[in-house]
Structure 1
Amino acid sequence: MSDPMLSASSPAEPGPSHRDLTAATTSAPAPVAAKVPTERTHHGDTFTDDYEWLRAKDNPDVLAHLRAENEYSQAVTAHQQPLRDAIFSEIKARTEETDLSVPSRKRGWWYFTRSAEGQQYTVQCRVPAATTGDDVADWTPPAIEPGQPIDGEEILLDGNAEAEGQPFFSLGGMAISEDGHLLAYAVDNAGDERFTLRVKDLRTGELLPDTVDNVFYGLAFSPDAERIYYTVVDDSWRPYQVKVHTLGTAASDDVVLYEEADPGMWTGFELSPDRTELLIQVGNSEYAETHSLDLTDAAARPRLLISREARLLHGMDPLTLRGTRHYLITHNHTPGGDAAPNNMVSLVPATELEREFSDQSWTTVLPHADDVKIEGTALTHTHLLVVLRRETTERVQILPLDGLGTAAQAEPVEPAFDEELYTAALAGADFESPVARLTYTSFLTPPRVYDYVLGTGELLLRKETPVHGYDASEYVAERDWATAADGVRIPVTIMRHRSVTADGTNPALVYGYGSYEMSMDPAFGIPRLSVLDRGVVFVIAHVRGGGELGRQWYDDGKKLRKKNTFTDFIAVTEHITRAGWAAPERIAAMGGSAGGLLMGAVANLAPQLYRAILAQVPFVDNLTSILDPDLPLSALEWEEWGNPIEDAAVYEYMKSYSPYQNIAAVPYPKIAAATSLNDTRVLYVEPAKWVQKLREVTTGTEPIVMKIEMDGGHGGASGRYEGWKDRAWDYAYVLDALEATARLSTASDVPTR
């Protein structure tokens, strides 16, 4: 259920007043689902659920009810259509529709993607790369013009052709064989994140007869291109098997290399940087286990490197250093038991991993620090790249492998950037590459692509994403701090148009997530400009449960401390009114998935604070879901929320905040839930039940609606234009509720394209 946050023409006329529109649209009758009481008993407590029957996805009555919900949502929000159209046009006009990515070099080819105006999906391409021995020339991306093919260009996969005639299209992974001849790719045409694996011969353009259904994310070829490795999910949508398919054989003959029986463990794999090992990692948010498969030996079986018995949360990168195989390990405690909650990095000879864990000798490369969270590492043949978080922001440090783990080890170097709030992320570093590819963005800076020259430290700008009609000086993004009830300081991001001041009259939208140690990092968003241009203060509440301030920040917002996430969000809302950034009666809240649970919780705890609440694919019946280990992902959630099946205290705690079970007879604000029928992470039934109960119990008169995408998954409909329409719907809903539909007179005109 974890997932990351969301990311023109003349404006619509203001039209009738907000109050007139509300009165007109709420005359349509809201759908009323039949009550079919279902009892659930745990730890002596019985809960009666009148709407559990809506879970029967194939029941014609359920589908009819969902269609009626869409019709009601359309009726209630019909007056917002001109505003949606305006926002969509603004997004479209600001976006460089015919564009391409910066080419990345891998084994003799430059790989890149193209997008074209009018097309929903990208096209995967490549061109041959020259090898002259001059690193600077050989690793300088070729100059490729948007919309213009170049000599030798090949189309690997056209997403538009793949999506033709399909209700939905998503790629779950791509892999190129070492010799560059074969492409393996996985396609989802339903939105349920169960993919079909296909293989294309890039020399002929023909598909091989090999097809494997129901694969999960992630693909890898063996070095000899004779085998493809992939993962499989079980009935509860938990990835639990790693399998290998031998080309030219039937999928029914595929071999299971690893199977994980524990329902609370997630299984995945990745290639070692030198592409000779497949690292199979099994884990949850508390600890992990790693196995290694020798890809140079077709008969090899996985061997255990670090057991779950060590209770070590870790990641590993194999490397050959000074003629000996080692593993670079990012980990949260030492074999001796010393805690490192923000992680440290150690270098370990492969032979050490054959000993008892407590007896192993590890050499510290980067020590633990209370103010720095080490997120992970990557390797080239010459350098170690470290992804870390300091002062809430993600950045990258680099140090040479020469002398690593010895007294001669060099000090890490960090590329410097000018802004206070930014994200500098590692976008890739091919093992043979003399450069590391970095992406840089901030709330005000569109994404940039840099190549960092490992040998010299030179930072080469390769591209800045063009945004038509955008002037960064018109906007302000700054860090503020709110104070929680227990005295903890909560980071707050305030974004606004430069003409907006803290005069206590502004509309504001507060966004939050706060789960799974996911951080709401600085990132540029074109759709957000349409909100700022209408005078809305866009606020991000970096609440506990996220990862912005290290592991403790996450731990303080999970399990039996989960309520901190909700009260932090409320504290941020109250702070922005005291600071003058928002009028108390003009605040909306927005969050999705686990952030949708946050929306449901604050709606119950402080409905009076919000004019409207938008909950996207909301996890609002979390206790019901986690009590059923057969439902998608439920058992995996025990490490995030606790196990209410076995632990009565966890059950009582979750029951005390579960949004669906704590709806009260109070006047709720306007509420909209957006969901998808085929979502496998948060099932549509959760918001479907939630809105029914809200309508039944609320003492207010504000409309409560649900918009359901009948062909989409967790991210909504597929295709970039459909995604823009979704964002336009979301923001129009919020802006209408806040009476902020007109653009500021000080906002620059959006170009017409």
Structure 2
Amino acid sequence: MDQKTSLPAPVAPRRSHPFTTHGITVVDDYAWLKDQNWQEVLRDPAVLDPDIRKYLEAENAYTESLLGHTAALQKTLVAEMRGRIKEDDSSVPSPDGPYAYLRKFREGGQHELFGRMPRDGGEVRIVLDGDQLAASEEYFKFGGARHSPDHRLEAWSADIKGSEYFSIRVRDWADGKDLDDLVEETDGAVVWSTDGKSFFYVKLDDNHRPMQVWRHRLGTPQADDSLAYEEHDAGWFTHIHESSSGRFCVIAGGDHETSEQRLIDLARPEAPPRLVAARQSGVQYSLADRGEELFILTNADGAIDFKVVTAPLAAPERANWRELIPHRAGIYILDVELYAGHMVRLERANALPSIIIRDLGTGDEHAIAFDEAAYSLDTMGSYEFDTTNLRFSYSSMTTPSEVYDYDMAKRTRVLRKRQEIPSGHNPADYVTTRIMAKSHDGAEVPVSILHRKDLTRDGNAPLLLYGYGSYGMAMPASFSANRLSLVDRGFVYAIAHIRGGTDKGWGWYLDGKREKKTNSFDDFAASARALIAAKYTGTKRIVAHGGSAGGMLMGAVANRAGELFAGIVAEVPFVDVLNTMLDDTLPLTPPEWPEWGNPIESERDFKTILSYSPYDNVAARDYPAILAMGGLTDPRVTYWEPAKWIARLRATMTGGGPVLLRINMGAGHGGASGRFNRLDEVAIAYAFALWAVGMVERTS
């Protein structure tokens, strides 16, 4: 690896900070990198402790000095990726009453524009111009936008710090101006009352947790808003959405194992919310409404992969649930969408999705599926309830996204949009396939693979292996135009569908959490070894990539199987697991205890997390080259996690590397705002990957 002339690596001072829990003493030499006023830093990055700022800036400068010679390559990569983006792109208009609503981008624009047109076609009118709103901000991200039921107003929200505190404003469609209303420190979501005179929102508390649902009446200050619901369990998060029929505001609360929902009749917004079914530990449910009946997706009564039940709206408690779609082991029901005459289920079996449509009048069912080896399928929702039209999207690792309108009654589909790749893309030039990797305990791990058709499988190709494996999130085998910049340079791109996700059902998730968390790490390493055995790549030719909880995967794999990899890219990596789970003031900690365990209360959980937490298991051994990327105002994975990790790695490792830290000083969990600015960060990660396998000089 050519490191060229560079600055000396920063050395973080070691300031011993021992603490004892359950009789076990842990020493954290880099605890000082956590600003004691971190809550204020989220709101105003300028108040960051000067010593911490100086250190982070030194790390950024060091990373720049090592990767600076890839600047031309990064520019090339950005140009390629941008060339695959249709700059004046637009969503398929979604009808609602007299209008059809859409989002679009202008040529050269970074941010979305929200608009509408007459339902049957005509001129598009823009009500929100993201480029204009972002012009005076260092950071800008829409939280969402929702028109009022009478189509007069548009409630919209935005975050201008990267800290995910969204401010809500209301714009008048008639004159394009915002009303005086301003609602601050929310999660960004809005549900309108039926009369359009008020809306519900979720307020974030001082620890950045969504615990309260408020109702704001137009024309009044936020201080006069009324509290509709408050959650008192700090381990539960609360969110809102409009029910399928549009009749209710659904207050959805829960953690990673248990859920509970309440309904507010939007025609009577002042009425108290009505509980559907009381929380019961380990039981999850979500609902859709149709007339006087609720359709409920739940794992109750041992339905690990979920089932669908119905209940009368007037008496929706558990005792009145009646089974409609029984539980089938290994067929995971991800979601249910309800329409006036049809129910739609999105299901996944063995990492492949399908859409099942049920005629609620006859009970007849039929499926929409595709026959590629690996693909992604998703429903897209609708503003309208009384319709036979289902909109869904399809893509594969070779096939750009396609949006279809499907008539559920006639069983006919119409292609409404195919993702355009302006610089050109021929799916026939690429191959997508799957292999199964056998993990340490015999579990079969699906691995989705993309490569050029002309690849020679001789064990020498560089390979990027992506993984996540937490929270039950599956990694779809969908299309990404960006990754073609690696694949067209000879890389194989692979996704390891490891335990901790729901790629093979809810049981696949349960086998990769808490005391079974290490299965995720072993599955990822097994996937790498299987790809080597199948001659897609070779040892030290693989670059591992993951973000957030997938960044924890990266840290654990670096400790446990680092010898397999040439490089590791860890974006906003959750690597300081033990310290974070011990700090119940952090935004996500109490809700995360069901996922990782509660080391404050449980000695067993403490020992389990301590045994794998990447930061706490850095060892005196060789490590691959590592690039850790974070954001200063990230409320999810705080900046000090990657900072502490890199500091300890550099002080402890005996060889290999280098290990690099890049902190975006003006962004949070999602990285840079703006669709093109984000490409700069992707280019850094890809340039690092090319550099790690020795390809920079050949490709820049």
State the TM bucket, normalised to the shorter chain.
over 0.9
Match of 2:542 among 566, 587, 590: 587
Amino acid at match of 1:365: L
Give the CA deviation at 1:116: 2.1
Name the CA distance, whole Å, in 2 between partners of 1:100 and 1:743.
37
Q: Which residue of 2 aligns with 1:329?
A: 296
1:236–1:634 Cα contact (<8 Å) kept: no
Q: Which residue of 2 aligns with 1:502?
A: 457
Q: Does structure 1 residue 90 correspond to structure 2 residue 80?
A: yes
Q: Does structure 1 residue 368 correspond to structure 2 residue 368?
A: no
Amino acid at match of 1:426: T
Q: Which residue of 2 aligns with 1:643?
A: 598
> 1:272-421 residue pairs with structure 2 within 5 A?
272-309=243-280, 311-320=282-291, 325-333=292-300, 338-353=301-316, 357=318, 360-403=319-362, 409-410=363-364, 412-421=365-374
Give the CA deviation at 1:480: 0.3
The range that moved more, 455-464 or 414-423, is 414-423
Q: Which residue of 1 aligns with 2:211?
A: 240
Match of 1:183 among 134, 151, 154: 154
The SS at the match of 1:85 is: helix
Match of 1:48 among 27, 41, 54: 27
Q: Alpha carbons of 1:372 and 1:86: their partners in 2 closer, same or farther (altered >3 Å)? A: same
1:450–1:460 Cα contact (<8 Å) kept: yes
The range that moved more, 109-118 or 250-259, is 109-118
2:374–2:448 Cα contact (<8 Å) kept: no
Write the deviation string for residues 303-339 of structure 1: whole angstroms up to 9, x where unpaired: 111100375211111111xxxx111011112xxxx31
Name the CA distance, whole Å, in 2 between partners of 1:329 and 1:314.
6
Give the CA deviation at 1:534: 1.0
1:240–1:260 Cα contact (<8 Å) kept: yes
Write the deviation string for residues 430-450 of structure 1: whole angstroms up to 9, x where unpaired: 213331111111111111110
Q: Which residue of 1 aligns with 2:677?
A: 722
The SS at the match of 2:202 is: strand
Q: Does structure 1 residue 77 correspond to structure 2 residue 67?
A: yes
Count of equivalent residues? 687
Q: Does structure 1 residue 441 correspond to structure 2 residue 420?
A: no
Amino acid at match of 2:24: D
> 1:580-729 residue pairs with structure 2 within 5 A?
580-729=535-684
Give the CA deviation at 1:236: 2.6
Q: Which residue of 2 aligns with 1:254?
A: 225
Q: Alpha carbons of 1:366 and 1:212: their partners in 2 closer, same or farther (altered >3 Å)? A: same
Give the CA deviation at 1:155: 0.7
The SS at the match of 1:217 is: coil
Q: Which residue of 1 aligns with 2:118?
A: 128
Q: Which residue of 1 aligns with 2:45?
A: none
Q: Does structure 1 residue 62 correspond to structure 2 residue 52?
A: yes
Tell me the TM-score normalised to structure 2 length. Answer: 0.96
Amino acid at match of 2:232: A
Amino acid at match of 1:638: W
Name the CA distance, whole Å, in 2 between partners of 1:217 and 1:209.
18
Name the CA distance, whole Å, in 2 between partners of 1:722 and 1:74.
17
> 1:186-201 residue pairs with structure 2 within 5 A?
186-201=157-172
The SS at the match of 1:526 is: coil
> 1:135-214 residue pairs with structure 2 within 5 A?
142=121, 151=123, 153-214=124-185
> 1:210-225 residue pairs with structure 2 within 5 A?
210-225=181-196
> What is the aligned-residue identity percentage?
38
Q: Does structure 1 residue 492 correspond to structure 2 residue 471?
A: no
The range that moved more, 531-540 or 306-315, is 306-315
Q: Alpha carbons of 1:419 and 1:45: their partners in 2 closer, same or farther (altered >3 Å)? A: same
Match of 1:530 among 473, 485, 494: 485
Amino acid at match of 2:474: S
1:545–1:553 Cα contact (<8 Å) kept: yes
The SS at the match of 2:171 is: strand
Q: Which residue of 2 aligns with 1:427?
A: 380
1:210–1:247 Cα contact (<8 Å) kept: yes
Name the CA distance, whole Å, in 2 between partners of 1:740 and 1:627.
42
Amino acid at match of 1:385: V
Amino acid at match of 1:251: Q
Amino acid at match of 1:577: I
Q: Which residue of 1 aligns with 2:9?
A: 30
Write the deviation string for residues 516-549 of structure 1: whole angstroms up to 9, x where unpaired: 0000101111110010011111111111001100
Write the deviation string for residues 398-424 of structure 1: whole angstroms up to 9, x where unpaired: 112214xxxxx22x2112434232122
2:290–2:339 Cα contact (<8 Å) kept: no
Amino acid at match of 1:113: R
Give the CA deviation at 1:743: 7.7
2:690–2:696 Cα contact (<8 Å) kept: yes
RMSD: 1.5
1:54–1:685 Cα contact (<8 Å) kept: yes
2:377–2:392 Cα contact (<8 Å) kept: yes
The SS at the match of 1:157 is: strand
Give the CA deviation at 1:682: 0.1
Name the CA distance, whole Å, in 2 between partners of 1:245 and 1:664.
53
1:534–1:743 Cα contact (<8 Å) kept: no
Q: Alpha carbons of 1:527 and 1:74: their partners in 2 closer, same or farther (altered >3 Å)? A: same
Uncovered stretches (5+) of structure 1, i.e. residues with no partner: 1-18, 131-141, 143-149, 404-408, 745-753
Give the CA deviation at 1:390: 2.1
2:294–2:316 Cα contact (<8 Å) kept: no
Q: Alpha carbons of 1:692 and 1:402: their partners in 2 closer, same or farther (altered >3 Å)? A: same
2:431–2:452 Cα contact (<8 Å) kept: yes
Amino acid at match of 1:269: I
